[in-house]
């Protein structure tokens, strides 16, 4: 079976009601990124950071996968599919995709604030201040903040090297190192980009630009790929 690798960003979940942050005002749900998504923010005001991610978790739990998430899950009928997502929501999994790499973590789990490898399921939508990991440190959301290492990046790069078909859906490619992954895909491999605002990419070989919303562009492309 051919290997399809799909890199997704916040745009694929936009039509599920989860806001992207670069589309409108450079804020994420009204917050400056530096105030809620950095190690410095956690050090300075852990209560605000915890509350911000608790609110995001609540929205994620209320959201439902959309036609784009479901279409990507259907690709598994005919292909070996790996989704590399920058998203911290779990909508790919809930749509039925079985092989999802979360580059920036997943908001439905908590992690130790001193040892990121220690992660736990969360009961409900909230991590409370005072809830501790097994080492006795405060639990925080299992997400990668700006300025933190991205532990899955080498694994993701190796997956991109093995792609026979590559897709990019709903990402501005403004966040590194994720944005560099497309550079690992072989030059001969077709690279489909689905986004109402196609980001600029500096790669050689075939790039097919589909300037559509995810719920329109992804199911149409998946239909074509399932015919092959």
Interface contacts to ligand NAD, rule CB under 6 A? 9-15, 18, 20-23, 86-89, 104, 170-172, 174-175, 195-197, 199, 213-214
Report the residue number, 78 or 216, with the smaller CB distance to ligand NAD.
Answer: 216
Q: Which of 69, 102, 104, 142 is catalytic?
A: 104
Question: Could you confirm whether 92 is annotated as catalytic?
Answer: no
3-state SS of 153-219 is HHHHHHHHHCCCEEEEECCCCCCCCHHHHHHHCCCCCCEEEECCCCCCCCCCCCEEEECCCHHHHHH
Report the residue number, 132 or 176, with the smaller CB distance to ligand NAD.
Answer: 176
Provide the 8-state DSSP code for 78.
Answer: T
Q: How far is the CB of 60 from ligand NAD (least distance, A)?
A: 7
* Binding site feature residues: 9-28, 53, 56, 86-89, 170-172, 214
Which residue minimizes CB distance to ligand NAD?
Answer: 11
Report the residue number, 126 or 164, with the smaller CB distance to ligand NAD.
Answer: 126
- Residue that the structure tokens 């990402």 belong to: 171
On the question of a cis peptide bond just before residue 77, with omega within 30 degrees of 0, the verdict is no
CB 43 within 8 A of CB 64: no
* Binding site feature residues for NAD(+): 9-28, 86-89, 170-172, 214
Active-site amino acid positions: 104
């Amino acid at each position: 079976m051919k290997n399809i690798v799909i890199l997704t960003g916040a745009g694929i979940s936009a039509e599920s009601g989860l806001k992207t942050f670069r589309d409108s005002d450079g804020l994420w749900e009204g917050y400056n990124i530096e105030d809620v998504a950095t190690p410095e923010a956690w050090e300075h005001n852990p209560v605000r950071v915890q509350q911000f991610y608790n609110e995001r978790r609540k929205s994620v739990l209320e959201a439902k996968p959309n036609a784009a998430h479901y279409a990507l899950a259907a690709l598994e009928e005919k292909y070996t599919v790996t989704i590399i997502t920058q998203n911290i929501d779990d909508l790919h999994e809930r749509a039925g995709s079985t092989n999802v790499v979360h580059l920036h973590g997943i908001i439905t789990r908590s992690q130790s604030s001193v040892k990121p490898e220690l992660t736990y399921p969360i009961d409900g939508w909230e991590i409370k201040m005072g809830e501790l990991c097994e080492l006795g440190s405060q639990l925080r959301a299992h997400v990668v903040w700006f300025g933190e290492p991205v532990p899955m990046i080498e694994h993701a790069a190796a997956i991109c090297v093995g792609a026979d078909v590559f897709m990019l859906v709903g990402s501005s490619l403004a966040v590194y190192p994720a944005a560099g992954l497309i550079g690992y895909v072989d030059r001969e491999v077709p690279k489909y980009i689905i986004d109402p605002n196609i980001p600029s990419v500096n790669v050689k070989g075939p790039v097919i630009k589909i300037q559509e919303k995810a719920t329109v562009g992804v199911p149409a492309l998946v239909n074509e790929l399932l015919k092959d």
